[in-house]
């Protein structure tokens, strides 16, 4: 019973550890994608803007060329940021939560079983104490209650049965 309780607590610890690792992987992935989005924004603002500016300067003028290139960079950075925000744990996350729930249920069942066993042991100890106290207070009554029924059973067992006689 105690071994089952310890095993279930170990399973619960493993499930919680797995959930923590999965969330750490998700956060790491999101941070990496956010950093990549920032890098795209920086390079976009630095390199593509210059090329786009020179390409658009003649047809639309220098001011509108700079605005169009900057808007395109920010749209690309927003798309990458949205992808990072939408990334989440996979199906293994749900499995880890299921294992955790099963471990919690098993721990609770083991705790209930342990409580019943402890209560039963406590009742047996109280009964034994009452028997000892009864024997100490009234030794003849205790002997009469236990010895007389035993003696009657032995005597009945010693009598020859009618079918054997």
Task: Quote the domain boundaries for residue 60.
Answer: 2-158
Q: Is residue 165 part of a domain?
A: no
Q: Is residue 73 part of a domain?
A: yes
Beta-carbon contacts of 41 under 8 Å, excluding residues fewer than 6 positions away, are 73, 74, 76, 77
Q: Is residue 102 part of a domain?
A: yes
Total number of domains in the chain: 1
Read off the pLDDT of residues 102-140 as tens digits, 9 standing for 90 and up.
Answer: 878 887 888 888 888 888 888 888 887 877 777 677 766
Q: In which region does residue 87 sit, left (phi positive, over 0), alpha (psi from -120 to 50) or beta (all else)?
A: beta
Q: Is residue 15 part of a domain?
A: yes
48 class by beta-carbon count within 10 Å (0-12 exposed, 13-18 middle, 19+ buried): middle
Q: Is residue 41 part of a domain?
A: yes
Rounded Cα gap, residues 3 and 89, in angstroms: 33
Q: Which of the four pLDDT bands, split at 50, 70 and 90, describes residue 12? A: confident
Look up the pTM and report it: 0.41
Q: Is residue 153 part of a domain?
A: yes
Q: Is residue 164 part of a domain?
A: no
Read off the pLDDT of residues 26-72 as tens digits, 9 standing for 90 and up.
Answer: 888 888 888 888 888 787 778 777 887 788 888 888 888 888 878 88
Q: Is residue 13 part of a domain?
A: yes
């Amino acid at each position: 019973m105690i071994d089952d309780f310890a095993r279930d607590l170990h399973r619960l610890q493993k499930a919680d550890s797995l959930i923590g690792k999965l969330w750490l992987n998700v956060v790491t992935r999101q941070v990496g994608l956010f950093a990549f989005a920032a890098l795209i924004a920086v390079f976009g603002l630095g390199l593509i803007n210059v090329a786009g500016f020179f390409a658009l300067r003649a047809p639309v003028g220098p001011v509108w060329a700079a605005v169009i290139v900057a808007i395109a960079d920010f749209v690309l950075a927003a798309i990458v940021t949205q992808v990072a925000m939408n990334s989440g744990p996979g199906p293994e996350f749900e499995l880890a939560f299921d294992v955790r729930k099963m471990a919690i249920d098993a721990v609770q069942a083991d705790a209930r079983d342990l409580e019943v066993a402890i209560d039963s042991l406590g009742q047996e100890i109280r009964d034994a104490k009452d028997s000892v106290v009864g024997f100490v207070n009234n030794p003849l009554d205790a002997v009469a209650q236990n010895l007389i029924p035993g003696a009657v059973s032995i005597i009945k067992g010693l009598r020859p049965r009618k079918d054997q006689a």
